[in-house]
Amino acid sequence: MEQFFNTYFDFGIMGDYFGDVLNGFWWTIRLSVFGGVLALIWGLILSVLRQLPGRLLSPIRILAIAYIDALRGIPMLLTLLLIAGGLGTLASQDAIPKEIGIPNWLGYPDPFWYGVMALTLTYGAYMAEVYRAGIEAVPRGQMEAARSLGMSHGQAMRYVIVPQAVRKVIPPLLNDFIALMKDTSLVSVLGFVEVVQVGQDVYSETFNPSALTLGAIMFLVFTIPLARLTDWLIKRQESKFERGIP
């Protein structure tokens, strides 16, 4: 048991490298915030496109469904490598502007933005399905009532359906955000120095994984409260449903 704790919980190593691990974790937080916010927006756009009515708009619906199915079926690591390799290659061949292919927006390095793109594209697809479930859970009569008041389909979706749907799907969206936050560690394959990469660097230097344990603890400090918040919101929704509150 002592050997186990010395291997995974060497407090000397944790203390010596705490600042480095914390700095890496702040990059993880930045990735989560940028990727999470953009994925929420992109997922909502996809879900609305998937709900467009009429035969004339069926090509857009088909494209949205195909995109969602494809991005949910491809591992995010593969998406990340395709983005990083593809954009970098296109930029080096002057096929696209270097500001897009090798982005350094806001002073952040290009692997950061490749990670944000991969998180947005992948989790936008997952969140689109969550939004769709919320939209379909809104009673059909809500749309009919809005249309009878003279609203267009777009106005009814914007002012009536989507606001109700979003309130219904906040808990599963939080679950997706927790998963997104954990998947930020995949950006380390590009050499980006976030918390996992820092832990790996310390491990290669000390041959002790305690810095990785410290990174895991930092993840738990954020994800466990989010998980409990999700549970509370689910119970709150269930209690409202039992009382008949929409």
| Residue-by-residue DSSP string for 4-66 | HHHHH--HHHHHHTHHHHHHHHHHHHHHHHHHHHHHHHHHHHHHHHHT--SSTTHHHHHHHHH
| Residue 243 pLDDT | 58
Give the mean model confidence (pLDDT) for residues 123-127: 97
CA–CA separation, 114 vs 190, rounded Å? Answer: 9
Domain that includes residue 60, residue range: 2-243
Give the mean model confidence (pLDDT) for residues 193-199: 94
Half-sphere CA count of 242, side-chain side, radius 13 A: 6
**Confidence bin at 118 (pLDDT 50/70/90):** very high
Q: What is the CATH number of the domain that holds 108?
A: 1.10.3720.10
Look at the chain and report how many structural domains it folds into.
Answer: 1
Do 85 and 7 contact (CB within 8 A), yes or no? no
| Residue 226 pLDDT | 92
More confident of the two residues 1 and 49: 49
Q: What angle do CA 91, 107, 217 make, to 5 degrees?
A: 110
pTM recorded for the entire structure: 0.93
| Residue 8 pLDDT | 94
**Above 90 in pLDDT, residue 233?**
no
Give the mean model confidence (pLDDT) for residues 128-153: 90
**Above 90 in pLDDT, residue 144?**
no
Which DSSP symbol is given to 246? -
**Above 90 in pLDDT, residue 125?**
yes
